[in-house]
């Protein structure tokens, strides 16, 4: 199992200097990927922008757009953005797609919440068609051609049985998340994904990815709790505080134990989502990951 690191876009303080430090530190460290995702009505920097910057600032790690909420976007534009990113990265881009969990973001974009799952499926098929040379409405191709033949690999941010059944028709695997750093929760998703793949008649095994919020360093416990409470407040302030108080990954030993457990559960990759933009966390994280080897 490999370990990727998300850029700390949901934490405060991520500016140009810190972004460069994180990108170069992740690329130089014992890590497999660098990632960013989408949220609209929050203080975060845009995920596509960050992944494009990371594509230019790194040489080795994969660039993971995690998660792209496809129902928000015109598929032809996303096809062009991801293909362009793949060119800049030299063929290192992959993407996890989903429907998102916040109706507020749909409202902010004027995008209908209803029908989002169907639009996700349709968008994935359109991405693949365009990346394979299919033409747009005007009869012309949407360029550039991605470096990777057929386009960047597409994972699904799916959890429930219906979503996994749909994902088994078009995804290479799943990119999940465990809020409470629970290896058993990750294992349940992995087994459900494998079942969906078998039921769909897939001969290829699914790629299995999970992740969690992590804080390491001085005052890590309060850093993690404050970050999680702010990030989850949109769902319910009371629920956010309760979940934040239960999050365990504010200690390197706890993180290493979880990494070992999710690897035993069959994970191909674990994504660390930092609760702080302080680049000093990268040193602690690199030490923890390297200690497993």
Tally of domains in the chain: 1
Each residue's pLDDT tens digit, 201-231 = 999 999 999 999 999 999 999 999 999 999 9
pLDDT at position 159: 84
CATH number at residue 40: 3.20.20.30
Segments of the chain scoring below 70 in pLDDT: 293
Residues in the chain: 293
Q: Which residues sit opposite 63 in a β-bridge?
A: 34, 93
pLDDT at position 192: 98
Domain boundaries, position 242: 2-290
The pTM of the full predicted model, rounded to 2 decimals, is 0.96
Each residue's pLDDT tens digit, 15-68 = 999 999 999 999 999 999 999 999 999 999 999 999 999 999 999 999 999 999
pLDDT at position 138: 86
pLDDT at position 98: 97
pLDDT at position 293: 67
Token reading at 101: 């969990």
Tell me the angle at which helices 237-246 and 220-232 cross, rounded to the nearest 10 degrees.
150
pLDDT at position 117: 96
């Amino acid at each position: 199992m490999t370990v990727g690191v998300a850029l700390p876009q949901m934490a405060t303080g991520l500016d140009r200097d810190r972004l460069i430090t994180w990108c170069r530190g992740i690329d130089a460290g014992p890590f497999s990927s660098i990632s960013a995702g989408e949220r609209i009505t929050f203080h975060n920097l845009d995920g596509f922008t960050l992944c494009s910057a990371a594509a230019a600032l790194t040489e080795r790690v994969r660039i993971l757009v995690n998660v792209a909420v496809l129902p928000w976007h015109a598929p032809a534009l996303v096809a062009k953005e991801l293909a362009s990113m793949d060119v800049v990265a030299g063929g290192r881009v992959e993407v996890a797609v989903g429907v998102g969990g916040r109706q507020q973001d749909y409202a902010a974009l004027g995008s209908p919440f209803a029908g989002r799952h169907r639009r996700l499926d349709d968008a994935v098929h359109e991405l693949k068609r365009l990346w394979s040379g299919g033409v747009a409405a005007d009869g012309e191709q949407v360029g550039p051609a991605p470096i990777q033949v057929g386009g960047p690999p597409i994972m699904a941010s799916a959890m429930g049985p219906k979503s996994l059944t749909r994902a088994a028709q078009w995804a290479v695997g799943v990119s999940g998340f465990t809020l409470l750093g629970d290896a058993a929760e990750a294992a349940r998703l992995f087994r459900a994904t494998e079942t969906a793949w078998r039921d769909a008649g897939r001969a290829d095994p699914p790629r299995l990815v999970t992740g969690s919020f992590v804080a390491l360093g001085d005052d890590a416990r309060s850093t993690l709790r404050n970050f999680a409470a702010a990030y989850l407040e949109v769902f319910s302030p009371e629920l956010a505080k309760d979940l934040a108080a239960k999050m365990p990954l504010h200690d390197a030993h706890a993180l290493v134990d979880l990494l070992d457990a999710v690897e035993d559960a069959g994970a191909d990759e674990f994504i660390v989502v930092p609760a702080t933009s302080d680049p000093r966390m990268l040193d602690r994280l690199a030490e923890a990951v390297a200690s497993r080897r």
